[in-house]
Amino acid sequence: MYDGPVIDLDVHHTWNSDSEIIDRLPKRWRDYVLGPGDGRRLPIGPAARGIQHPGGINKRLETFPSNGGRPGSDYETLRKQLLEDYRIDRCVLGFDNALSPAVGDPYYAKALVSAVNDWNLETWLSIDDDRLYGCVLVPTQLPEEAAEEIRRVGRNPKVVAALLTFNGLNRPYGHPLYLPIFEAAQELDLPVVMHATGAEWSGGVLSMVAGGQGATRLEQHSLLIEGGIHHVLSLILNGVFERFPNLKFVAVEAGTAWLPWLAWKLDAHYEVLRRESSWVRKRPSEYLREHIKVTTQPLEMSPKPEQLWQLYDAYGGMENQLCFATDYPHWDADNPAYIGRRIPEAWHRKVFHDNALATYRWDRTTRVPVGAAAEGATS
């Protein structure tokens, strides 16, 4: 069993009451949200068509705090269940309700995102625990203002990434409209994190899902990465990594098995259609390997474990792109012991620690935790 330091790139924390965000809005937007009259108010997330989880909720029951709050809202519960039980050396808090950028009014969305970022800085990243780090949530509908928000929040040493949860302009991320966001991220040495299960699958303002929204949770959960693949392809073929050679991009909750297919497909088509992408100076698969990281949650379930390894071997270099993530406190969260059994032992140090250490903006020194990694419950 791997007993070294573990970095978790996908932890979902949240607030207990929407008032925690509303109280941080400028007066204009507080009045807009609360309004006069019978106490009703506008939502602080987008209008969405939810698809009910067959189990009723998408959280593990044991993650509900004893104080009755929402899973991911209580530091002591998270500290015990995640940081201590799994011996996590560092974790990246990525919000459980990060759909504020998808609100229809882009200016209201920007105000909400700033309030969420302030809440995060004041309530979680101020905790005296050097294992907790966070992201700056990005209001993508207004790229120039998004860049300003990255610079405002991203200078905090506890902020280690810029988080995209929604393509607010209905364009894949390689579109020139988004360049200010990537410029600001590279300027601050922040990787850009794309959460693959964001507002585009929530029935919100926009959608990148082919054929329209599915009718079942099974459809939704099986196709979560569809929009994410388009974003990654767009970044490469529109020359974003040539323009920003130090930019790093992390696809969280995006799976892994699509990487070989995309690399082979892009390289084959590039030979024929390269005149369309004259700003791409090398084979697309090279950009994929050099700039893109993916997380272990969710790791595809091949009929036999070695079959997934064989796909990785055919692709080559997956051990340098794969980073550990739990997805705590969601129902399908994975623990280190489970992932350790799913990947080759020779990969453990890179996947659990080194790849993330080299990608995110933090003090790149290793703090070895005391004791061995805990088993915990399997996914």
Within-domain flag for 373: no
Q: Per-residue pLDDT tens for 206-218?
A: 555 666 667 777 7
Within-domain flag for 49: yes
Within-domain flag for 182: yes
Within-domain flag for 315: yes
- Model confidence at 205, pLDDT cuts 50, 70, 90, reads very low
Q: Which of 118, 77, 124, 123 is nearest to 100 (CA)?
A: 118
Structural domain count, the chain: 1
pTM (global) more than 0.85 = yes
Within-domain flag for 245: yes
- pLDDT of amino acid 369: 45
Domain that holds residue 22: 6-359
* Beta strands at 88-93 and 322-323: parallel, antiparallel or unpaired: unpaired
C-alpha 143/C-alpha 356 separation (Å) is: 27
- Model confidence at 362, pLDDT cuts 50, 70, 90, reads confident
Q: Do 93 and 133 form a contact (C-beta atoms < 8 A)?
A: yes
C-alpha 112/C-alpha 97 separation (Å) is: 12
Burial 304-318 (b: 16+ CB within 10 A, else e): eeeebbebbeebeeb
Within-domain flag for 1: no
Within-domain flag for 216: yes
Within-domain flag for 368: no
Find the distance separating the first CA and the last CA of the chain, reported in whole Å.
Answer: 17
Tell me which DSSP letter residue 373 carries.
P
Look at the alpha carbons of 55, 59, 61, 66 in this order and tell me if their dihedral is positive or negative: negative
Q: Per-residue pLDDT tens for 294-352?
A: 999 999 999 998 999 999 999 999 999 999 999 999 988 999 999 999 999 999 999 99
CATH code, domain with 188: 3.20.20.140
Residue 144 has pLDDT above 50, yes or no: yes
